[in-house]
Each structure stands twice: as structure tokens, then as C-alpha cells.
Structure 1
């Protein structure tokens, strides 16, 4: 993945696997129907119909746009095992997925809004 079209903050998150401050990123309050795509390659990652307010301060979704949209690996950087999520197409870091979400999946995709584009319907 190239950082040539990313802002410094987008590159810090997408390439260096950083995390934006809670309640600071875009899209947290977005309610319109549409699709969230990867900031680096525009791959569809999340449907707005799967978004919910987790209270975490980051956009949260209970499912991915497609089963193969995201890649996962274990992240042990904070002394605990977490499942880190990346765009499967370009490898941009998105956030983490936790098993404390709502039905029907029980998953909470906790995503840095800074690395998402939103395309309203």
C-alpha cells in the first residue's frame, strides 16, 4: 500500500497500525444508508445497515460487507490478544474485531473512521 494519497493521520493509522482518539474520527454520527470503503483502495468494507452505536467512540459494525472483505490476525501489542482487522485488498489497518457485539453475529468491528470513506446511497 502506498501512502501517496493519504493524509499524515490516515497513513499513521492505515500503515503504522495506530488508533485515532475515541470520538474524534469522522462517521461516528453518520446515519444515512450507504457503504463504507477503504480509504486507500476504495474496497467496500461495511454496509451502513450493519452499523450501530457501541458507545466505544469508534464506528462499530456487527458484520463486514462481504466475508472476504477483511483479513484478521492476532495483535498482542497491549499485553492482550486482540483480533486486528485489515482491508483484505490492500492491507490498510482498520481496527479490531471483538466478540461482544449484538445479534445476529455477536461481533463488534471497532473501526478507525479516519481510514474509511462513506458513499451514501
Structure 2
């Protein structure tokens, strides 16, 4: 599975900003590479019920599965757990003058969103991975 290099903390996939700009459109670059946030309730996957695997839009690594997606009504897709323990990296984020936990793709270190705990959602983990739709690519399950 995808993870960062444990000896260096560097992503497996490393590209220059120019290379990322060639791969991503300007909105994707802003969110994935500059930790931007898409506006709430407009994302492609906010309300989708399609079964499948959610991959990182930047590198294609598997991040989440539809079986862990739930309706939080927060304006962004919400998941209660990543597809595997090494699919994402969590790190402290003090960017808004408060402590939050940022979620990054373990393979390329692209920004995905934030994770929140203890909000009382009826999920097995009591976690809400609040993820930007623009950071994801859904690969539907074959029927």
C-alpha cells in the first residue's frame, strides 16, 4: 500500500510545483498542493452513494472506500476511516489559529482535508474525515 518513506518522511511520489501544475488544473493544485479548501456543498462527491474506491486525484493512491463514507451534512464528503492505516498521514494544522488535524495522501503528501473526533456521529470510529471532493477520484465498483 502507499505510504511515505519511513526513513525520510518524504512522499514516494515527489514532483516539482511545475510538474504538479501540468498534472492538475488550477483548482486542484490550490487544494491538493497549497492546502486550499473547496466551497461547501458544491463538490462532486458530497452526496454520491456510488459504491467504489476513492483515490487521490493527484497520484491515484487508494484512500477511502464507499463502505466508510457517511452523511454528515457538513458540505464535504465524510468518511469514518481510511481504506488502510497507511493510506493517509495526519499532522497538526494551526493555520486558522486553532489546532486541527490535516489529512494528507501518504503517497504524494497532497492535502485532502481534515479529520475531527468526538462529534457524536453514529460511526464505528467517532471520527469524521472531512475531505475535499476535488482531492478525490471515485473508481466505481464493477457490477
**TM-score, length-scaled by structure 2:** 0.82
Deviations 1:65-89 (Å, cap 9, x if unpaired)? 1000000110011111000000000
Tell me if structure 2 keeps the 8 A contact 1:14–1:92.
yes
Structure 2 residue runs of 5 or longer lacking an equivalent are: 1-14
Aligned structure 1 segments of 4 or more residues deviating by more than 6 angstroms = none
- Give 1:116 deviation, angstroms: 0.3
Question: Max radius of gyration: which structure?
Answer: 2
Residue number in structure 1 paired with 2:122: 102
CA–CA distance in 2 between the matches of 1:118 and 1:77?
28
Is residue 2:136 matched to residue 1:116?
yes
CA–CA distance in 1 between the matches of 2:132 and 2:122?
19
Is residue 2:88 matched to residue 1:70?
yes
Higher helix share: 2
Tell me if structure 2 keeps the 8 A contact 1:74–1:84.
yes
Structure 1 residue runs of 5 or longer lacking an equivalent are: none
Tell me if structure 2 keeps the 8 A contact 1:102–1:108.
no
Residue number in structure 1 paired with 2:100: 82
Tell me if structure 2 keeps the 8 A contact 1:62–1:102.
no
Note the aligned Cα RMSD (angstroms): 0.9
CA–CA distance in 1 between the matches of 2:28 and 2:76?
15
- Give 1:102 deviation, angstroms: 3.2
CA–CA distance in 2 between the matches of 1:70 and 1:52?
18
Residue number in structure 1 paired with 2:46: 28
* Structure 1 residue matching 2:30: 3-state secondary structure: helix
Is residue 2:71 matched to residue 1:53?
yes
CA–CA distance in 1 between the matches of 2:103 and 2:79?
12
